[in-house]
Structures are given as structure tokens and as C-alpha cells.
Amino acid sequence: MTFVPDALDRRIINTLQHGLALTPRPYADAAEALQVDEATLLARLQALLDAGILTRFGPLYQIERAGGRFVLCACHAPEDRLDAVIDAINAHPEVAHHYARSHHLNLWFVLAVQRAEDVSPALQRIGRDAGVEILPFPKEREYFVNLYLPA
């Protein structure tokens, strides 16, 4: 059976895109604002995640303030080895997510490390294991976009 979000699910998605309050019980506070109980809110979020309607629900960190780094990376994965390259890259816990593109650099991923000095060794391991050259594109400047996608 296919999960179809209803009006409450859409209200939850639309409301929580603007963030959660930094309070002792942020979900309870959000639930109250949505006029539901906390258990209902949490169950609805889990159902949206389980159905793949939401692929991730969580905070966005400015990892550099904690000493870590996010780095956008790209590589060329030959078509006949694409699945093997993806599997090799995804096997590394530092890989946050990946996506394919229709370009010579057809596979992109985000590297997330706890310390800035971990970037180069991690990229060397990933490139070696995947059998491809990894091109890093480190962030030069940060922009706040405030993307909002109404459901």
C-alpha cells in the first residue's frame, strides 16, 4: 500500500521546515503549535521517513565551528563500474550522501569529517577503494539560502 500524506502531514512538513525551538521538549512544543500530541507528531515524522517522503529529518550543522569539514567531491565512475564505485564510496562512514549526474564527473558526494586534517586521508582511502580519482571542491564561502518547499 502506498503512503499518501494527508493535510496534517503537509502541515507538519511545512511547519518544521522553519526549524524547531531550542527548548527542553522541542517536539512537544512543535506538537502543541500543530494542535496534536507529541506522540502523534513523532509517529507522523517516522511514517514520512519510512515512506521515503522525507529522506532525512535533522539539524544542519555548521561543522567548521566544531573543527570538522564538509567537502563536496566528484569523480568519474565508468558506466560499467558505476555500481561498484558507488558501493565502495558509500562503504566509508565519512560519506554523507551521493548523487549521480549526466556529466563526465558523473558521481558526486559529500564528505563529512570531524577534523579538518582528516579530509585528505579520507579522500585518499575512498579514491583507492573505489579505484577512481576524487576531486574535492572545498567550500570557499557559505551562503544561507533559507530554502522552503511547501508540501
Segment 42-96, tens digit of pLDDT: 999 999 999 988 887 777 778 888 889 999 999 999 999 999 999 999 999 999 8
Is pLDDT of 1 > 70? no
Instruction: Using a cut of 0.75, tell me whether the model's pTM lies above it.
Output: no
Spans of all domains in the chain:
7-50, 63-138
DSSP string, 109-127: EEEEESSGGGHHHHHHHHH
Can you list the pairs that 140-144 forms with residues at least 24 positions away whose Cβ atoms lie under 8 Å? 142/62
pLDDT at 34: 96
Which sign does the torsion angle of CA 25, 20, 43, 60 carry? negative
- Taking only the tens place, the pLDDT of each residue in 120-132 is 999 999 999 999 9
Q: Which CATH fold would you assign to the domain 63-138?
A: Alpha-Beta Plaits (3.30.70)
